[in-house]
């Protein structure tokens, strides 16, 4: 790990603590290449994990933060190690998502450790359900798939009105306009199953949707939750996917951890409307002599450009 990122690691750790202290976290991960042989140039797939706390949609007072962690693999214990003992709600990408932008948890059960033993609760992501129906509709023009898409679109229309309103108003709006749509979507999907072959792709998608809907329903009553984690985690993962397209790779495990620190600081600065380059120039001049128990004073949201 480079001297600069090692110097800034306590600040990244502080941001991580703030993320883990939040009542809800948006979680995702994405593959990155890590070099395994300096001479051969061989590489294998490692992971960068994104954890986001963003309370702006419900007028929360905590500063938005993005905290990244690096691992050399995608073993199931990684998520639990990043969020040990977490008792809030995790907005998790749905298992078996086929859309390119949401492949991070494709068929991945590693988050189950967070949801076992009465610890964290799961908030399912409805955008993945919508995309599966969209895939079916694009392939064969299914009327049933189109009906599901139209109903889900009505839920998102309510969310556009609910976002950034005060917490009580968000819940009241969802109860008045979204709950009946949500209930009707679930009941309607159940009625479609007898009409199609159980082996059809559409039948699989409906079963998938009916499995995710109960884990998404709690957003109707909880002001802290979103219908999906697409806005927050897609934004935090986007810099990593752009880097991957530009042949970004980690030279070592230490390099991956340094990258996680850098992404934590850069993305958190951006989320707080701070120029990352200007803030990053200011911080190293002060952090070495700053008391560790007051490290939060150097956070992006505390910085005022001169």
DSSP track, the chain: --HHHHHHHHHHHHHHHHHHTSSEEEEEEEEEEEE--TTT--EEEEEEEEEEE--GGGT--SPPEEEEEEESS--THHHHHHSTT--SEEEEPPTT--SGGGGGGTT--TTHHHHGGG--EEEE-HHHHHHHHHHHHHHH--HHHHHHHHHHHHHHHHHHHHTTS-HHHHHHHIIIIIHHHHHHHHHHHHHHGGGS-TTSHHHHHHHHHHHHHHHHGGGGT-TT--S-SHHHHHHHHHHHHHHHHTT-EESSHHHHHHHHHHHHHHHHHHHTT--HHHHHHHTHHHHTTS-GGGGGGGSGGG----
- Rounded mean pLDDT, 87-113: 57
How many angstroms separate the CA atoms of 55 and 23, rounded?
9
Question: Quick one: pLDDT at residue 297?
Answer: 96
Q: Do the Cβ atoms of 48 and 260 come closer than 8 Å?
A: yes
User: Closest Cα partner for 27 from 100, 115, 117?
Assistant: 115
> What pLDDT was estimated at residue 31?
86
Assign 216 a pLDDT band (cuts: 50, 70, 90).
very high
Strands 24-35 and 249-250: parallel
- Asked if the model's pLDDT at residue 173 lies above 60, the reply is yes
pLDDT at 40 exceeding the cut of 80: no
pLDDT of 292 > 70? The answer is yes
Write the CA distances from 26 to 50, 193, 196, 276, integer angstroms: 8, 32, 35, 22
Find the mean pLDDT for residues 145-149: 98
Q: Are strands 24-35 and 43-53 parallel, antiparallel or unpaired?
A: antiparallel
Q: What are phi and psi of 90, to 5 degrees?
A: -105, 120
The pLDDT tens digits of the residues spanning 249-273 come to 677 888 899 999 999 999 999 999 9
Give the pLDDT confidence of 78-99 residue by residue, as tens digits.
888 899 889 999 998 654 443 3
Q: What value does the mean pLDDT take over residues 218-224?
A: 95
Cα–Cα distance list, 229 to 126, 138, 143, 152, 299 (Å) = 9, 24, 27, 15, 25
The single residue listed with the structure tokens 């679109």 is 153
pLDDT at 59: 86
Q: Is the pLDDT of residue 305 over 90?
A: no
**8 Å CB contact between 181 and 156:** no
Q: pLDDT exceeding 90 applies to what percent of the chain? A: 61
φ, ψ of residue 4 in degrees (nearest 5): -65, -50
Q: Are 79 and 120 in contact (CB under 8 A)?
A: no
Q: How many CB atoms lie within 10 A of CB 66?
A: 28
Average pLDDT over residues 285-303: 93
Say if residue 21's pLDDT is above 50: yes
Residue 254 in tokens: 């230490």
Does the structure show a pLDDT above 80 at 103? no
């Amino acid at each position: 790990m480079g001297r600069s990122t090692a110097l800034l690691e306590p600040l990244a750790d502080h941001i991580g603590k703030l993320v883990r202290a939040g009542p809800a976290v948006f979680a995702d991960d994405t593959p990155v290449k890590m070099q395994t042989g300096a001479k051969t140039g061989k590489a294998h797939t490692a992971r960068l994990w994104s954890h986001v706390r963003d309370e702006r949609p419900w007028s929360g007072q905590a500063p938005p933060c993005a905290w990244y962690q690096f691992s050399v693999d995608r073993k199931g214990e990684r998520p639990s190690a990043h969020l040990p003992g977490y008792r809030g709600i995790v907005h998790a990408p749905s298992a078996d998502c086929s859309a390119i932008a949401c492949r991070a948890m494709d068929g991945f059960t590693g988050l189950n450790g967070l949801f076992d033993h009465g610890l964290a609760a799961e908030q399912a992501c409805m955008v993945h359900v919508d995309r599966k129906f969209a895939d079916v509709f694009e392939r064969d023009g299914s009327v049933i798939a189109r009906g599901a898409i139209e109903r889900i679109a009505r839920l998102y229309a309510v969310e556009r009105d609910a976002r950034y309103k005060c917490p009580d108003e968000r819940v009241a709006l969802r109860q008045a306009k979204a709950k009946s749509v949500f209930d009707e979507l679930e009941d309607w999907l159940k009625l479609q199953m007898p009409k199609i072959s159980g082996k059809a792709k559409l039948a699989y998608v409906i079963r998938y949707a009916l499995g995710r809907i109960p884990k998404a329903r709690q957003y109707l009553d909880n002001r802290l939750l979103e219908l999906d984690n697409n806005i927050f985690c897609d934004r935090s993962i986007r810099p990593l996917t752009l880097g991957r397209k530009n042949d970004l790779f980690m030279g070592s495990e230490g390099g991956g951890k340094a990258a996680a620190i850098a992404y934590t600081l850069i993305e958190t600065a951006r989320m707080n409307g701070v120029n990352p380059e200007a803030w990053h120039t200011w911080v190293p001049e002060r952090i070495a002599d700053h008391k560790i128990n007051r490290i939060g004073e150097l956070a992006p949201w505390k910085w005022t450009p001169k």
